[in-house]
Amino acid sequence: MIKNCLLLLFVGFFSLNAAAIRVDTSAYQLQRLKINALLAERSVRFGQYDQSLDARTGIFGFQTKKDIKNSNEILRQIVLNDNNVFKELKVLMDYKDQEVKNVIINSNTTNGRIQNYMVSIKKLQDQNQNLRERIVMVEKGKTFYYYVIAFLGLLIVGMVWFGYKKGLFNDLS
């Protein structure tokens, strides 16, 4: 009874631990569940093996050949189960290695994109600075042209006024 309770606690602990670590890919998660099931089966078989060692059906409470064969068969099943656990762990480690490779590839891709964005931002900042400098130059040029136009306008007005004053435009009427 105690062994069954320990088994349930063991399986429950693995279930909670699997949920608490993080959500992985579905194949990785399925593989973990498969390994947990094999480990639970191993625990049950080990309990059976422990009970078979205590079985003494012979005369005077000794173990018979049948008891020993039964214990050996359970032990053989435990070893076969352990071999399956190792195989499945290898598959799980391959999944994990693939996930690590994917994370590295994703990281490198992201870093490359970030570098490209930084180069683009720098280029745009430089273009922006050049455009601002050109705007300042154009504004200075506009101011110069305004002064020239104003000067020419005043010159024309002065010439017309001087012409009226001297009477150059009186002959035209």
> How much is the pTM?
0.49
> Which amino acid is residue 69, in one-letter code?
K
Question: Containing domain of residue 122, as a range?
Answer: 2-129
171 — pLDDT class (breaks 50, 70, 90):
low
From residue 112, give the alpha-carbon distance in Å to each of 9, 37, 108. Answer: 47, 42, 6
149 located within any domain: no
121 located within any domain: yes
7 located within any domain: yes
Convert the pLDDT of each residue in 41-75 to its tens digit.
988 988 888 888 877 777 766 777 888 888 889 88
Q: What average pLDDT score do residues 75-94 get?
A: 91
153 located within any domain: no
Structure tokens at 57: 């059906």
Task: Kindly report the length of the chain.
Answer: 173
Q: What average pLDDT score do residues 124-149 get?
A: 90
pLDDT above 70 as % of the chain: 81
Between CA 94 and CA 98 the distance in angstroms is 6
134 located within any domain: no
DSSP annotation string for 69-98? HHHHHHHHHHHHHHHHHHHHHHHHHHHHHH
pLDDT at residue 16, rounded to an integer = 47
Q: What average pLDDT score do residues 77-102 get?
A: 90
Structure tokens at 26: 């579905």
154 located within any domain: no
Contact 7, 40 (CB under 8 A): yes
117 located within any domain: yes
Pick 47 or 1 by higher pLDDT: 47
